[in-house]
Structure 1
Amino acid sequence: MTFEPLRYPPRILCIGEDPNQTKMVDLVIMEGYLHKQSKHLKLWKIRYFVLTESTLAYSKKSGKKAKNTYELKDVDVVSDQNYVVHDHNFVFEVKHGEKRMFLSAPTESERLKWVQGIKTTRSKLFATTDDGDTEGKHSEAESLGSFLGGVFRLTAPSKMQQRQKRQVTKERKEERKRAHLSKMKKSFSAVWLEDVLPSWGDSSAHPQDFVEALCFAGIPKEVRGRAWSAMLGNRLQINEQLFEICKTRAKAVLLEMTLAKDKEEKSRRSTDKRVSLPTSPRLAATATAEAHVAEQLIADNERNIKLVQRDMPRTFGNHPLFQTGAAGTQKTYEVLEAYTCYRPDLGYVQGMSYLAAILCLHLDSFGAFRAMVSLMSTRLLFDMYRLEEERTFRYLTVYDSILKHELPQLYDHFQEIGMDPKMYVVDWAFTLFTRCVPLEVVLRIWDCYILIGTPFFFQACMAILIMYEDALLTMDLGDAMKFLHNVPKTCSAHDFFEAMETVNLSRPAINELLSGGDVRPWSPVGRRPVEVEYPEAYEY
């Protein structure tokens, strides 16, 4: 069963007091902040752009009156322009008659999203006009307005709009506010490189709220590695010498594997009989015990490295950096082999390759290894990768409670078709969505998860389900499993964070659940603040 995503929402029909003055109101296709080059001063200013089904408009801030509005039928967009450069940003050009407007986005994916959005919406507008649908829709609106006598205003609020109206706690309202970035005079890259990273750790220089808003806006790819490293920190004091030691151990294991294979081959061919010398029972027992421990360690390391070698070809198999023999593949091998030697108690577990590969996209080998160690010591990953049933099922129980609270209808449907959280949530947790969600969205999720931690993981799970709730409600177990293990490529970061806005449980509430609380309807009287404490081994 396949599902075609709804790319364009239906129009909303507005009927005023005079039925003869009925008009069609366009719904928003996409909106957000972009840099716009000033016509005279050649400075870049941040403006809020809104793309509807028939217009492109911008204002100084979200919610303000539009300063300029352009009809899409008169607009053309140029994606590959070499006329204007904006440092650390990605530029595209919008033409309106003889006027030229240069806009820039903080990331290439954001730029492409706007370019594609304008082109697609414009082509759809022309297709509608050519078919004569517009006249039919207006005449239909006028006849409906006459029939109702201009008394009602007909709207079809989406589930997303309905969710936004639900009562939420004060903490959640504050979280939603923090997710929105206020107006800035610099590009995002400049803010990170010149202001945030040099003074990292000094809360007086840049409050946590501001950094959180920057992460929700998306970290530019050219500073993402440095930003992630700063946010993860280095509490375990990982240095390059330790990294080299772990790499040397991994190489020694690989050499041991090669020698053992050669030795086994020779022993098969050899027909010589060896004479065994008599030894004392005590010495024999000691030697046997020591040999057994050494053999067990070598066997464990061999097993880990073999698993890495088997799993890597399945990790980002279509990405050019992770083809056989490519630089990204070699770097990821190096990081994973070093990590399994650093934490032989955990060893290699399927899914680690995705985490290491994402880090290697943005960091050098040592930086990725250090980040891997810090990331794996975060609460969620530390518990999940220990593969202890009690810890894993604790997270699944919390997830089930949150799903029942946030999406009761979908929860009931999953119960009906036999969809258990462990069938898909474990995979989401082990890879932090990397295996199941488009890379563009994954990177934006990581920007926030690395800063915020485990509670954001549960909010992200709910956001994905909110986006596709209607489709999932029509699926059986097989289709739902397939869908949640391979979220459509049309999933965008804009849609994800729009859905995230409607998640009702705050991060403190999720922490309370993890500490053993329960989900209750919020009220000022009934709310019990619970201080959550976690073991020292965790890194928040």
Structure 2
Amino acid sequence: MMCIFYDSHFMLNVMTEQPQRATSVSLCWRQSRLKPADKRRVSPQQEPMKDSSVPSCPQRAQPAGKRRNLEFEPLSTTALILEDRPSNLPAKSTEETQRHKLEYEEMVAGAKRRELKEAQRKKRQMKERHRQEDSISNAMVTWNTEILPHWDSMCGTRRVRELWWQGLPPSVRGRVWSLAIGNELNITPELYEIFLSRAKEKWRSYSETSSVNDSESDGGASLADRESSLDLIKLDISRTFPSLFIFQKGGPYHDLLHSVLGAYTCYRPDIGYVQGMSFIAAVLILNLEEAEAFITFANLLNKPCQMAFFRVDHELMLKYFAAFEIFFEENLPRLFSHFQTNSLTPDLYLIDWIFTLYSKSLPLDVACRVWDVFCRDGEESLFRTGLGILRLYEDVLLQMDFIHIAQFLTRLPEDLQSHTLFNAMASTHMISRNRRWAQVFSALMKDGNKEADKNTSPALRS
């Protein structure tokens, strides 16, 4: 019995002493690793409980004047360069200590310079933002009080065109677009409601019979019928401005966009739904009421250039490409030659730009500026915008091959600024041999296919 009692007592002492030793070692290690700045940041609740049974860690005396009254206390490991080495390592020499002090001071000075530079940048940004807000506010007053009430007599004046080029205030943008595009089709809000009700009925019957049609269909349905289907519209809506999260399922504009696109497929069954329409409709919905957005959407797609592309009129599209390349060669001869060398035809990048009016390729705010000028100048501005993009990135594109050029132009940089693009567009001259865009295009139409055949794209031939 005494032996058992002695063994148990001995094991208990061993078990109680081991955690104390571990705690002592752990505390000593943590305290030796803390910098003075770290110790000040430890809250009372985080301080370890002092135990008289735990031996305290030996503290080294701090050299006089070391790290005192520092104006800049970094939150990183920058100041570790000033620390003495652990006692088990050779101490720093005086020269090394002085060198480390100079290095630390240079790091602190560099950090301060960066902070000052960042503060100055933010100050400039804020100043520019205030200037833009004042400019937009003044322009909004001008548009609302002087221009819009007298639209017919004012819209073509030089002053209004200059204001237009500078960008429309967001509060009047939708109304100006609507007036500029017009309503040649004489669509009324009541007519929109009629086609919307037809679309809803069509979708109901489609959902009821989709399983039967899927099993019986032999693939003979027309292209318009296939592309006006609910499935394709739903799929395209989900991919429309996905970063905004407002047109996707459950978003505030999902049903609205669905309604406008569905009504249009019933209004123009000969065209149906074509991929890319959702981006145009979405931009209009962001700036106009539902019925007005539909009216503007239908009239916009009825313009000759948009009709040629959405009907996939190959012959007419080739003439647009031929006209574009005439101005491309005159404005950017080096890049034009580089594209020719790499067999890069306009359809590889222009189709996507024209189909969505740049709303998919450019940042939304920049795309809206492009739309402003499109409503002012018509189809010419679309190709001028394309030349502006090519001019802006000419030096980059000259270093790329076919694959990289196509990828770059499909997905333009997200940091593209409107003022840089419009400066490039302003430097682009839409005059060829004393002929403007409309005259060049008209001449190509009269000449038939001779000019277009020279620029026939393999993609369009297929």
Change (3 A) 1:348 1:72: same
1:323 Cα deviation after fit: 2.7
Q: 1:201 aligns with which of 148, 152, 158?
A: 152
Q: How does 1:222-371 map to 2 (within 5 A)?
A: 222-261=171-210, 300=225, 303-371=228-296
User: Which amino acid is the alignment partner of residue 104 of structure 1?
Assistant: R
Matched, 1:515 2:442: yes
Q: Is the 8 A contact 2:224 2:270 kept in 1?
A: no
Give distance in 1, aligned partners of 2:223 and 2:195: 14
1:211 & 1:351 partners in 2: Cα distance?
A: 31
Q: How does 1:68-79 map to 2 (within 5 A)?
A: none
3-state SS of 1:104 partner: helix
Structure 1 CA distance for aligned equivalents of residues 221 and 339 of structure 2: 44
Q: Quote the Cα distance in structure 2 between the aligned partners of 1:252 and 1:516.
A: 47
Distance 1:105 1:263, change over 3 A: same
**Corresponding residue number in structure 1 for 2:377:** 452
TM-score w.r.t. length of structure 2: 0.65
Give the SS at the match of 1:200: helix
8 A Cα contact 1:398 1:514, kept in partner: yes
User: Where does the alignment leave 5 or more consecutive residues of structure 2 unmatched?
Assistant: 1-115, 446-462
Greater percentage in strand = 1
Q: Go from structure 1 to structure 2 and tell me whether the alpha carbon gap of 1:301 and 1:343 turns closer, same or farther (over 3 Å shift).
A: farther
Contact 2:181/2:300 (8 A) holds in 1: yes
Secondary structure of 1:357's counterpart equals: helix
Of all paired residues, the percent bearing the same amino acid is 31
Code of the residue aligned with 1:399 in structure 2: it is F
SS at match of 2:430: coil
Give how far 1:207 is off.
4.2
> How far 1:197 moved relative to its partner?
1.2
Question: Partners in 2 of 1:76 and 1:475 — Cα distance?
Answer: 33
Q: Deviations along 1:244-300, whole A, 9 cap, x unmatched?
A: 1110110111111122147679x99xxxxxxxxxxxxxxxxxxxxxxxxxx979992
Deviations 1:211-270 (A, max 9, x none): 2112111111122111111211212111011101110110111111122147679x99xx
Q: How far off is 1:473 after superposition?
A: 0.1
1:4 matched residue in structure 2:
none
Seen in structure 2, the aligned counterparts of structure 1 residues 264 and 235 have a Cα distance that, compared at 3 Å, is closer
**1:76 CA displacement:** 7.8
Q: What one-letter code is carried by the residue in structure 1 that aligns with 2:182?
A: G
Question: Counterpart amino acid of 1:484?
Answer: L
Q: What is residue 361 of structure 2 aligned with on the other side?
A: 436
Compute the displacement of 1:301 (Å). 7.2
Distance (whole Å) between structure 2 residues aligned to residue 72 and residue 450 of structure 1: 41
Q: Is 1:475 paired with 2:400?
A: yes
Listed as ranges, the matches of 1:25-40 within 5 Å are: none
Residue by residue, what CA displacement relative to the aligned partner does 1:289-332 show, whole Å, maximum 9, x if unpaired?
xxxxxx97999278443321121111111113223221222211
Alignment partners' CA distance in 1, 2:212 and 2:121: 70
Q: What is the match of residue 139 of structure 2?
A: 188
- 2:279 and 2:356 in contact (8 A); partners too: yes
**Structure-2 change in CA distance of 1:201 and 1:339 (3 Å):** same
Letter in 2 for 1:217: Q
Q: Give 1:438 deviation, angstroms.
A: 1.5
CA gap 1:340/1:264 in 2 versus in 1, 3 angstroms: closer
Please say if residues 338 and 398 of structure 2, whose CA atoms lie closer than 8 Å, have aligned partners that are also in contact.
Answer: yes
Contact 1:236–1:374 (Cα < 8 Å) also in 2: yes
Gaps of 5+ in 1: 1-70, 80-90, 95-101, 112-185, 269-294, 519-540
Query: What displacement does 1:373 show?
Result: 1.1
Q: Is the 8 A contact 2:373 2:381 kept in 1?
A: yes
* Cα displacement string for residues 2-30 of structure 1 (whole angstroms, at most 9, x for unaligned residues): xxxxxxxxxxxxxxxxxxxxxxxxxxxxx
1:50-89 Cα deviation digits (max 9, x unpaired): xxxxxxxxxxxxxxxxxxxxx999968569xxxxxxxxxx
Secondary structure in 2 matching 1:349 = coil
1:253·1:301 contact (CA, 8 Å) conserved in 2?
no
Alignment-derived partner of residue 381 in structure 1: 306
Q: 1:298 to 1:377 in 2, by over 3 A?
A: closer
> Which structure has the bigger radius of gyration?
2
CA deviation profile, 1:352-380 (whole Å, cap 9, x unmatched) = 11111111111121111011011112221
Report the Cα distance in structure 1 between the residues aligned to 2:121 and 2:277, rounded to whole angstroms: 45
Cα RMSD of the aligned pairs, angstroms, is: 3.1
How many residue pairs match? The answer is: 325
Q: Secondary structure at the match of 1:327?
A: coil
Supply the distance in 2 between the matched residues of 1:406 and 1:314 (Cα, whole angstroms): 35
Letter in 2 for 1:189: M
* 8 Å CA contact retained: 1:424, 1:481: yes
Q: Distance in 1 between matches of 2:227 and 2:236?
A: 14
Q: Does structure 1 conserve the Cα–Cα contact (< 8 Å) formed by 2:320 and 2:441?
A: yes
Is the contact between residue 406 and residue 504 of structure 1 (CA under 8 Å) also seen in structure 2?
yes
1:261–1:308 Cα change, 3 Å? closer
After TM superposition, the score normalised by the length of structure 1 is 0.56
SS in 1 for 2:131: strand
- In 2, distance between residues paired with 1:474 and 1:429? 25
User: Does the C-alpha gap of structure 1 residues 499 and 343 become closer, same or farther in structure 2, counting only changes over 3 Å?
Assistant: same
Alpha-carbon distance between aligned partners in 1 of 2:224 and 2:177, rounded to the nearest angstrom: 34
Query: What is the alpha-carbon distance in structure 1 between the residues aligned to residue 224 and residue 327 of structure 2?
Result: 42
1:526 aligned residue: none
Match of 2:96 in 1: none
Is 1:105 paired with 2:56?
Answer: no
Contact 1:335 1:365 (C-alpha < 8 Å) held by counterparts: yes
Q: SS at 1:368's partner residue?
A: helix
